[in-house]
Structure 1
């Protein structure tokens, strides 16, 4: 409007051969500079506001996603690669922050305000032109619906491919030694290149769509509308009906150009929005996952008595992996679980930890059905050493204490010494404060296993589970651990999933599982006297050891 007034005054003064008032020009220039400064400050403030807000929102969403991940049942992770889940928590929330909360929200607000302001100004200058230009809004609305319908599956597929690339890369890194040992480098490269090519093909489809519907076409529409406006003004002028001043003509053309800029910005930002929505959908799918319902009733541990009362379980209801399992373990007893791969040994332990609940029967600890107790309280007094010990980045001390502030350095050292890890401590310059790289790769498998044992012992559990914990260590280390366990398992109920039958010969009872059923039960001597599957397995291992 200021430009219109300046042009009209100057043109009128020139027409009448009158001088232009410098006071008028300075006044209008002052208003123009004031509006320009206010606009710049508003733009800068909105950028800071949305930048701070978007980063805060992104952090909160990432925190919620991480928290939700830890609340999900173990079954959620059964068929999902770790890379895909981490991509949702880290990568997708970053896309959501950058593409939506910061850039999109900021741009949409500014451009919408500009569109509204320009339409108001157009109606004040020329209601006819303003009304005619309102026809652009339904056109652009339909245009966006078409774009969204085509772009949504493309962008969803794009985020899925990125997740698969993350998973494939993580898998290759974790198994790099096996890849090189079996000369699988070319095959892994082919798989990665194939997935990467799928990513490129997806991006090319997206670029073509954006080029047609977001850039070239939008500029074409702008030029067409500008042509019709000039045609209208020209027709009015040649017919002698033009009632617009030079300033009004200038401001109409300027407003039309200014109107298209924010509208086209809104159109062109749609690819960013679609990418953000694709990422947001994946993040909110994770946030919307149903968590396990849990009881508020705590499990009160007393002496560690365990009863499996006719338990039947399957990871899906059609395929049972445990069938009518029934046995009792008295406090302080050691139970050996043996059987071929897939017989149900690990599933039995998963039920004891309440990672899953049985479809039939009940599991009782100290005469309390654990299905009616809070999961955290069930696991609080349990310790486990897995076949493949997992060490976190940090120190030996942090891996033993697991950040439990009540476990002192003296308790950590004592736990390590009990499991026979004093030679390990003696060779480390910083002792228990020695740095541990990812997964403890600088340590031998036996040393990692000793640290895992110490971690469990430092927790001082009532119930101890050893999941084939001696299968990856040498005979000498096994003897050290076995001797330590004979001391520390006193007063604890212990389950040992055993591959080497020598580790369970002193067990109070041994359960031989086969296809989810207890086929044989008794002490080592009783099962040898039975001369069944256990005795056969024992003879085969003894023969193998002698050979």
Structure 2
């Protein structure tokens, strides 16, 4: 119930539109549901006397019929307007929830994504919020409220026409409540399984797209297809079960029950009329039949719609699980970077409990220096960079930029003067120019071209028909690894950061391309404090300081020549790579 209250409370942001829609709905409800009473009057006061020899008052008949048509048309037009308003509210609430979910995802700590499949997170933001928009808000605002309102109005009319008939028909309410609960119980498990399977399909499709080359190289197409088919079959089975229950328990049984009740009313009325014990007009019989049929239609619609709303509460729960995630505590203080000096003071860090991945790390990087981090996989190189970016904060020690403890400053400001080039650079859909400029829409074309030329991307631009405006799609897969790296270097150069991080920037390219990339690295590094994570030692021989990490500790430090002379881990790594290259 708490989820339902929270979902309903989201409407408060658009209460004026909601109130206008409800007023229009109320007006249209009275007009549409009151129109049959005019027909009753026409039958009893105009047509019945004619059957007994009276002269038909044509003018009055046309006035009454005109009033009936007018009420019906205007009532439906107002109802259309109310539905449009209420659906607009539903769309706005859905949009607000989706934007909040996306903003929350953006603000979550990196640790949240460590064990979360991307497909399931995207399903919360896209699929689940859309389900809430269409099934909860759309259904509730445009259908459930309307039908509830009509049920109330119809009962008021029936009670005013015939107290005992109205009271008798009130017995339908507990019957339909029981009916609705039975319907919901029959479909609850199937609906839950349907959405779980849908979420899994999102993850599988995402995985298949990102790993398409590996799947094909290892001949896993059939295996992946089988997994997809199994999950898709779960969706189909659940959907078929829901369809079967819906076809049986909603309209089919409702129609049967409605006909039985109408037959019972007509039989009772006919029995008493023939026996002379009940005086009832033809118009009144028309009203009874008309309103009872409308009552059943409204109650039947509620039986069909309410379970969908109840099931959407499970969807709401998943969305609020994301929205309620604890966000990173962040300061409003803005870090100002002038020189770009970076210091790690006795930093120790663990992702979980006391399982330390970094132990007593101390680094002193001055402006313009290049610091290289080397070591086997799992030695702690990437963890050091994660701390520098404030993706995580250390449990012990502190990190200073220009003498300022970064834990005291806003994360966005900490990263504002940092640039990074990854081993597999990510290019966004757009153009080469938009990927270089990133969020700077006002960056001049000349600056973009200059950055690309400086990193050695001129040959690439010359072969492209549209130059810097060449389209980039699918993460830049139309470009080679080296070309993507050059675009990434140009992006970093154009943003002019004080601190630069190069993460395995040459690991995915051939030796010939490495020469081009090395030149680009030298251009981008100039005047900046640079951290290089590298496996290829040939790329860091000119580094001012090389830190050798092993099991989270710095076990050696010095420049290339000093570490070779030391004859330790670095020297062993160098000899091994020299042997392999030969």
Instruction: Please state how far the C-alpha of 1:467 moved relative to its aligned partner.
Output: 0.4
Instruction: Find the counterpart in structure 2 of residue 483 from structure 1.
Output: 519
Instruction: Find the counterpart in structure 1 of residue 419 from structure 2.
Output: 383
Instruction: Find the counterpart in structure 2 of residue 67 from structure 1.
Output: 103
Q: Distance in 2 between matches of 1:488 and 1:254?
A: 80
Q: Distance in 1 between matches of 2:476 and 2:484?
A: 7
**Which residue among 384, 403, 408 is the counterpart of 1:348?**
384
- Per-residue Cα deviation, 1:288-318 (whole angstroms, up to 9, x for no partner): 3332221011112122222222222222225
Q: Distance in 2 between matches of 1:335 and 1:290?
A: 35
Instruction: Find the counterpart in structure 1 of residue 156 from structure 2.
Output: 120
**Which residue among 431, 452, 458 is the counterpart of 1:395?**
431
Instruction: Find the counterpart in structure 1 of residue 355 from structure 2.
Output: 319
1:365 aligns with 2:397: no
Instruction: Find the counterpart in structure 1 of residue 208 from structure 2.
Output: 172
Q: Distance in 2 between matches of 1:97 and 1:427?
A: 48
Contact residue 99 and residue 273 of structure 1 kept, 8 A: yes
Instruction: Find the counterpart in structure 2 of residue 89 from structure 1.
Output: 125
Gaps of 5+ in 2: 1-36
Instruction: Find the counterpart in structure 1 of residue 94 from structure 2.
Output: 58
Q: Distance in 2 between matches of 1:484 and 1:134?
A: 81
For residues 146 and 16 of structure 1, do their structure 2 counterparts lie closer, same or farther at Cα, with a shift above 3 Å needed? closer
Q: Distance in 2 between matches of 1:236 and 1:113?
A: 33
**Which residue among 323, 348, 366 is the counterpart of 1:330?**
366
For residues 508 and 26 of structure 1, do their structure 2 counterparts lie closer, same or farther at Cα, with a shift above 3 Å needed? same
Residue correspondences, number = 546
- Per-residue Cα deviation, 1:73-109 (whole angstroms, up to 9, x for no partner): 2222222232222333333333333334334421223
1:190 aligns with 2:222: no
- Per-residue Cα deviation, 1:431-475 (whole angstroms, up to 9, x for no partner): 212222221111111111111111111111111100000111222
**Which residue among 491, 503, 514 is the counterpart of 1:455?**
491
1:43 aligns with 2:43: no
1:22 aligns with 2:54: no
Instruction: Find the counterpart in structure 1 of residue 176 from structure 2.
Output: 140
Contact residue 331 and residue 410 of structure 2 kept, 8 A: yes
Gaps of 5+ in 1: none
Q: Distance in 2 between matches of 1:71 and 1:152?
A: 33
Q: Distance in 2 between matches of 1:352 and 1:364?
A: 9
Instruction: Find the counterpart in structure 1 of residue 578 from structure 2.
Output: 542
Return 324-333 or 482-491, whichever deviates more: 482-491
Instruction: Find the counterpart in structure 2 of residue 500 from structure 1.
Output: 536
Instruction: Find the counterpart in structure 1 of residue 296 from structure 2.
Output: 260
Contact residue 370 and residue 544 of structure 2 kept, 8 A: yes
For residues 146 and 343 of structure 1, do their structure 2 counterparts lie closer, same or farther at Cα, with a shift above 3 Å needed? farther
Contact residue 301 and residue 381 of structure 1 kept, 8 A: yes
Contact residue 95 and residue 275 of structure 1 kept, 8 A: no
Return 377-386 or 24-33, whichever deviates more: 24-33
1:6 aligns with 2:42: yes
Instruction: Find the counterpart in structure 2 of residue 423 from structure 1.
Output: 459
Contact residue 308 and residue 362 of structure 1 kept, 8 A: yes
**Which residue among 110, 115, 121 is the counterpart of 2:146?**
110
Instruction: Find the counterpart in structure 2 of residue 98 from structure 1.
Output: 134
